[in-house]
Chains A and B, each alone.
Chain A
Amino acid sequence: MIKNALLTMTRFHPYHGQNIRLLHDNMVAYRETSFAHALTFSEKPLRPGEIFLVEIEKNERGWSGHMRIGLTQFNPADHFELPQYALPDLHNMGKSWIFAVTKSHNKVMLNEEGDTDNGDEPYQSVIDVGSRIGIMYKVNGDTAEMRFIINGEDQGPCARYIPYQGGNLHAVVDVYGTTKQVRIIQLYGVSTLQNACRDRILQLTSEDDLNKLPLPKKLKQFLRYELVQEGEDVSPARKEKIVEERTCMKCEKKAVLVTRVNDAFCKECFMVYVTHKFRAAIGKSKLIRDGESVLVGVSGGQASSCLLHLIQEGLSGRAHKKLRFKPGLVFIDEGATIGMSAEERLANCTQVLEIMEKTGFPCYLKALEQAMELEREAVTNTADQTDTASMTSVEDLTKLHRYDKAEEELRALMDSLKSVSAKEDLIKSLRHKILIDLALKKGYSKVMLGDCSTRLAVRLLTDIAQGRGAHVAMDTAFADNRCNDITIVRPIRDFSSKEVAMFNILNNVPSVFIPRITTKVYSVSIEHLTERFVTGLQAEYPSTTSNIMRTGEKLHTEKKSSSENQCAICQAPLDTDVPSSSALSAVRFSETVSRCSSVTLSIFSTDTACDGGGDKTCQSEGQKESECCGRGDGSCQSKESKLTRDEVESALCYACRLLIKDLGDVSKLPKHILDDISQRQRRTKMKSEIEDFLLDPSNTPD
Chain B
Amino acid sequence: MMKTPITLEFSGGAELLFDKVKKHNVELPASEKKWTIGNLLLYIKDNLLKERPELFMQGETVRPGILVLVNDADWELMGELDYEIQPNDRIVFISTLHGG
Residues of B within 8 A of A531 (CB): 65, 97-99
What is the chain B residue whose CB lies nearest that of A256? B73
Verify if B80 is at the interface (C-beta below 8 Å from A). yes
**Closest residue of B by beta carbon distance from A454:** B96
Q: When the two chains form their complex, are residues B12 and A513 in contact, meaning their CB atoms are under 8 A apart? A: yes
Asked if B79 is an interface residue, CB under 8 A from chain A, the answer is yes
Rounded to whole angstroms, the CA-CA distance of A53 and B92 in the bound complex is 45
Interface readout for B47-66 with A: 1 if CB under 8 Å, 0 if not?
00000100100000000110
Closest to A529 in B: B99
Query: Is A536 located at the chain interface by the 8 A CB criterion?
Result: yes
Contact B98 A518 (CB under 8 A): yes
Residues in B76-100 with C-beta less than 8 Å from chain A? 76-77, 79-80, 92, 94, 96-100
Q: Is A237 an interface residue (CB 8 A)?
A: no
Q: Is A592 an interface residue when CB atoms closer than 8 A count as contact?
A: no
Q: Of the 9-residue stretches A16-24, A288-296, A519-527, which lies at the interface with chain B? A: A519-527
**Contact-residue size bin, chain B (C-beta under 8 Å from the other chain):** 20 to 34
Judging by beta carbons under 8 Å apart, are A246 and B52 in contact?
no
A518: chain B residues within 8 A (beta carbon): 98-100
Closest to A240 in B: B76
Identity of the chain A residue whose Cβ is nearest the Cβ of B99 in the assembled complex: A518
Q: Is there contact, CB below 8 Å, between A519 and B99? A: yes
Q: Is the CB of B98 within 8 A of A528?
A: yes
Q: Which A residues are in CB contact (< 8 Å) with B73? A: 254-257
A5 sits at the interface (CB 8 A): no
Give Cα A264–Cα B12 distance, bound, in whole angstroms.
23
Inter-subunit contact A535/B52 (CB<8 Å) = no
Bound-complex Cα distance A313 to B22 (A): 27
Q: Are A539 and B13 in contact (CB under 8 A)?
A: no
Q: Is A66 an interface residue (CB 8 A)?
A: no
Q: Assess the A524–B79 pair: CB atoms within 8 A.
A: no
* Distance A528 CA – B97 CA, assembled complex (angstroms): 9
Report A-chain residues with C-beta under 8 Å of the C-beta of B19: none
Tell me whether B64 and A498 are in contact (CB under 8 A). Answer: no
Q: Is B69 an interface residue (CB 8 A)?
A: yes
Nearest to A513 among chain B residues (CB) is B13
A7 within 8 Å of B (CB atoms): no
Q: Determine if A506 is an interface residue (Cβ-Cβ < 8 Å).
A: yes
What is the CA–CA distance of A538 and B63 in the complex, to the nearest angstrom?
12
A502 proximal to B (CB < 8 A):
yes
Question: Which of A242, A500, A502, A538 touches B64 (beta carbons < 8 Å)?
Answer: A538
Contact partners of A14 in chain B: CB under 8 A: none
Q: Is the CB of B13 within 8 A of A528?
A: no
Q: Tell me, yes or no, whether B11 is within 8 Å of chain A by CB.
A: yes
Q: Which residue of A lies closest to B96 (CB)?
A: A497
Of A243, A258, A455, which contacts B74 at CB under 8 A?
A258
CB contacts (< 8 Å) of A520 on chain B: these are 16-17, 52, 55, 99-100
A48 CB within 8 Å of chain B: no
From A241, A243, A254, A505, contact of B94 by CB (8 A) = A505
Query: Is A516's beta carbon under 8 Å from chain B?
Result: yes
**Given known contacts A497-B96, A498-B96, A518-B99, A505 and B72 CB-to-CB distance under 8 angstroms:** yes
A215 to chain B, nearest CB (A): 45
Q: Which residue of B lies closest to A539 (CB)?
A: B64
Task: Check A524 against B12 for contact (C-beta < 8 Å).
Answer: no
Contact call B77/A515, Cβ cutoff below 8 A: no
B64 contacts across to A, CB distance below 8 A = 532, 535-536, 538-539
| Interface: A501 (CB within 8 A) | yes
Is A72 in contact with chain B by the CB < 8 A criterion?
Answer: no
Q: Which residues, 524 to 551 on A, are CB-close (under 8 Å) to B?
A: 524-525, 527-528, 531-532, 535-536, 538-539
A281 to B99, CA, bound (A): 28
Q: CA A254 – CA B13 in complex, angstroms?
A: 29
- Given the complex of chains A and B, what is the CA–CA distance between A347 and B5 in angstroms? 33
B97 interface neighbour in A245, A521, A535, A539, Cβ under 8 Å: A535
Instruction: Assess the A245–B77 pair: CB atoms within 8 A.
Output: yes
Q: Give the chain B neighbours of A106 by CB distance below 8 A.
A: none
Q: Give 27 A-B contacts (CB < 8 Å), ordered by A residue.
A: A241-B79, A241-B80, A255-B74, A256-B74, A256-B77, A257-B77, A258-B76, A258-B77, A264-B77, A302-B96, A455-B98, A497-B96, A498-B67, A500-B96, A511-B11, A513-B16, A515-B16, A515-B100, A516-B99, A519-B100, A520-B16, A520-B100, A521-B99, A527-B98, A528-B99, A535-B65, A539-B65
Residues of B near any A CB (own CB < 8 A):
11-13, 15-17, 52, 55, 64-65, 67, 69, 72-74, 76-77, 79-80, 92, 94, 96-100
> What is the interface of chain A, defined by CB distance below 8 A to chain B?
241-243, 245-246, 254-258, 264, 302, 454-455, 458, 497-498, 500-502, 505-506, 511, 513, 515-516, 518-521, 524-525, 527-528, 531-532, 535-536, 538-539
Given A500-B96, A511-B11, A532-B65, output 19 extra A-B contacts at Cβ < 8 Å. A242-B79, A243-B79, A245-B77, A255-B73, A257-B73, A258-B74, A302-B12, A302-B96, A506-B72, A515-B16, A516-B99, A520-B52, A520-B55, A520-B100, A521-B100, A527-B99, A535-B65, A535-B96, A538-B64
